[in-house]
Structure formats: structure tokens, C-alpha cells
Amino acid sequence: MKKYTILICLLFLLTCFHIPAEAGSKYDNLPAPQWVAHAMFVAMKQAERMYADVEDSARLPRSIQKGLVSPADWTSGFFPGLLWYLYEYTGDGVWQERAAYATGLLKQERFNAFDHDIGFKMYCSYGNGLRLTGNRQYEQIIFRSAKTLTSRYSYKTGLIMSWEPNEARDWQFPVIIDNMMNLELLMEAYKLSGDTTLNYIARQHADKTMKCQYRPDMSCPHVVDYDAETGAVRKFDWNNGSDDVTNSTWARGQSWGLYGYTMMYRETGDEDYLRHAEKIAEFLLNHPGLPQDLIPYWDYTGADRSTMRDASAAALMASALLELSTYSGQGKRYFAAAEKILQTLSAPEYLAEPGTHHNFILKHATGNYLRHSELDGALSYADYYYVESLMRYIKLLNHQELF
């Protein structure tokens, strides 16, 4: 009798505990390692707590150091995008409602032409929302956002200007490698509208960046400044990564480029973009400065580089490699590298415990090392690309389409 009493008590206790959300996931019947399910569970628990702060404040998370920020901040689209991925993973309408609310906070940003980051803001949020819901209002917002981005394009340079001219920095027409990521907004709007100008601008920017921003070894600086009238390169420069402009190989910047050119191959079928992405991947995976666990330091070559890792560069690289693995003859190698990155990020050293780390998911993400900004902490875009990578990983394990 005593044994039966104990059994009943144990069953009662089990029913009192919250069942992990992954148990109800629409991906629950698809094979995936337990570490993936655990990682998604942590992501959901952290996002649930973070969302409560977003709902209370109508602001969006950026980092531990900078907290919640206005929708005008360049990072504002990442948390809404993360919520859309959690909706995709669970199929739970609660996550859809949360994602829709957070996305709606960015609506007015479709007119914000202050810098190029409208692509980050509006595609990660509204782009994922459109992909998962087919909401026609989202189509209009994406198109309007893309047209706003094109206002920064110069036919003289063949590029989208990232930041404004800056006399103190001696910048006439500064372009940063991050800008490659914003071309996805243009390509999506082109597909939705048939406006060939959007396709033209995206390809021109990608082509000029490929020609002028990459060194022979396939590394790139953060910033290239161009002559505003002739489009000629004036100088390599930095705002992130090492200040050694000859050799600086800012880790996240290399990942932006890898992701951007992989995406442009997807959108255009242009083999030049695929070959460029493969060359970047080979440079990174063979780099002597890349640690064995494949989580980069903040810069691959900076003199002070070996002091701090950047989980955001790793998560971004994993996502890009997973997509590239579906196009390249080196697919198995790229998939294995991405898998190793995700396994490392999903271990306790990098994955936060639920309820800790100010409700961010990944630890050891570095914003701007030399400017002492957002160091070794949390970044909303590290979390976004981590969850995106996990979703891509699950789909590829189960032979599903990524998009």
C-alpha cells in the first residue's frame, strides 16, 4: 500500500510541474536531438518573460547594457522576429499574438530613412510575419520600407549609403558590410511588387561591395568610404572590430557578409554570389584565429582579439552555413560546422538558465569591443540568429524547405 501511495504522490507532483513547451510543439514528432528541444525551451521561457516587459513599455530589447529601446533603434526588429520563430516552432496562437503586437510597434519605421537599418528592423519583423501568416497589410509595409531604403541609394556610387557623411571621420559616402543584410528587404519587396528598381539596386550594391570591400584573402573591413561623385574607394575604415584598418577582420562583419551573399544567391541564382559566399566560408573555417569550438573572438586578427568571444557572430555564421549547405558542393562540411557551433552555443557556458541573464538567451555576445559597448553580455540579434539557426537545423534534419 505504501508503494502505491508514493506512486500516486509522484504522479500528482508531476502534474503540478509545467510541461515544457516543446512537448506541444508542432515539431514534436520530428527527429531532433534533445539539446535542440532544450534550447528551444529556454528560448521560449526567456522570451515569455521578456515579452512581459515589452508589453508594459512598448519598447524592445537590445542588450543588458542598453536595456529596452525605442522602435527607431536599429535592433528593434530582432525580438519581434524571434517571436515569429517561436510561433513557427510551436504553432501556438499565443506566440502569434505576441509576435504581431511586437511587430506592430515598428509600423512607423517604414518611413524612417535615417540610415540603412530599416532592413534589419522591417524584414526580421514584418518579413517573418508575412512568411508565416500571409497578412496582406504586411506586404504593403514591406514594400513601403523597401522604397524608403532605396532613398539612400546613389547611382553615382552604385551603393546604398549606410551612414551620413561625417567630416570628423572624413567620410563622404560610408558603406558598412552590415548593409548586405538589408538587401533581403529589397528582394522580398521586388518579389511582392515586381518593381525591378528594387532588384537592380540590391544587385548593384552587392556587386560593388563584392568588388571593393573584400581583400584578396576574403576578409573585409567594417567600413569602406567612397567618393560621393565618382564612386571610387577612398579608404578602408572601422567603427567596429579592430582599428587596424589594414588587417581588421571584425568577426560579426565577416558573418554579415557570409549571410548576405548566401541570401543573394538564393534570391537571384547568380553563381558569382554563391562562389563569393563559399570563399568567405572557407576563409572563416580555415582561419587560424578561429577557436576549436568555432565561437569566434570579436575580431579574427586584431592585436587584442583573444580577450572576448562574440556569440552573435557565431549564431549568425551558423545560420548562414546551414543555408549555404543546401547550395554548395561543400554542404556536408558546412552543415557539420554549423551543427558544432549550435551545440557549443546550446551548452551551459553560452545558454542562459531560464529567469537569468536579464531574460536574454545567449551569453558572451559582444557589441563593440574597442568602444567598450555591450561587452561580453547579451544582444537581441545574437538571440534572433540563434533561434533562426535552430529552426533551420530542425528543418534540414527533417529534409524540409528552409523558406
73 is catalytic: no
| Interval 242-277: pLDDT, tens | 999 999 999 999 999 999 999 999 999 999 999 999
How far does Cα 14 stand from its chain's mean position? 37
pTM of the model: 0.93
Q: Is 144 helix (H, G, I), strand (E, B) or coil?
A: helix
Is 10 within a domain? no
E-assigned strands of 133-245?
Answer: 153-154, 159-160, 173-176, 223-226, 233-237
117 is catalytic: yes
- Domains in the chain: how many in total? 1
Q: Which domain holds residue 52?
A: 18-397
| Bridge partner list, 363 | none
Is 9 within a domain? no
Q: Cα(208)–Cα(212) distance, rounded to whole angstroms?
A: 6
Please check whether residue 124 is in contact with residue 384, taking contact to mean a CB–CB distance below 8 angstroms. Answer: yes
Q: Cα(270)–Cα(371) distance, rounded to whole angstroms?
A: 37
Residues 6+ apart with CB under 8 A from 199: 186, 187, 190
Q: Cα(286)–Cα(214) distance, rounded to whole angstroms?
A: 17
**The three grid cell numbers given for residue 191, joined into one nine-digit string:** 518579389
CB atoms within 10 A of CB 395: 19
Is 171 within a domain? yes
Question: If you ran DSSP here, which 8-state letter would residue 348 be given?
Answer: T
Is 162 within a domain? yes
Tell me, what CATH number does 202's domain have?
1.50.10.10
Residues 6+ apart with CB under 8 A from 13: none
Please check whether residue 239 is in contact with residue 245, taking contact to mean a CB–CB distance below 8 angstroms. Answer: no
Is 2 within a domain? no
Residues 6+ apart with CB under 8 A from 196: 190
Q: What is the pLDDT of residue 191?
A: 98
Is 320 within a domain? yes
CA-based diameter of the chain, in Å? Answer: 90
**The three grid cell numbers given for residue 210, joined into one nine-digit string:** 563584392
**The three grid cell numbers given for residue 336, joined into one nine-digit string:** 557539420
Is 11 within a domain? no
Which residue is catalytic, options 53, 73, 115, 178?
A: 178
From first to last of the 403 residues of the chain, give the pLDDT tens digit: 433 333 333 333 333 333 344 445 667 667 789 999 999 999 999 999 999 999 999 999 999 999 999 999 999 999 999 999 999 999 999 999 999 999 999 999 999 999 899 999 999 999 999 999 999 999 999 999 999 999 999 999 999 999 999 999 999 999 999 999 999 999 999 999 999 999 999 999 999 999 999 999 999 999 999 999 999 999 999 999 999 999 999 999 999 999 999 999 999 999 999 999 999 999 999 999 999 999 999 999 865 666 899 999 999 999 999 999 999 999 999 999 999 999 999 999 999 999 999 999 999 999 999 999 999 999 999 999 999 999 999 999 999 999 9
Q: 104-126 in b/e burial notation, b at 16+ Cβ within 10 A?
A: ebbbebbebeebbbbbbbbbbbb
Which residue is catalytic, options 117, 237, 310, 383?
A: 117
Is 3 within a domain? no
Closest CA to 239 of 289, 170, 317: 170
Helix (H) or strand (E) holding 63: strand 60-63
Three-state SS for 299-333 is ECCCCCHHHCECHHHHHHHHHHHHHHCCCCCCHHH
Phi, psi of 353 (to 5 degrees): -80, 140
Q: Is 366 helix (H, G, I), strand (E, B) or coil?
A: coil
Q: What is the pLDDT of residue 307?
A: 81
Helix (H) or strand (E) holding 69: strand 67-69
Residues 6+ apart with CB under 8 A from 16: none
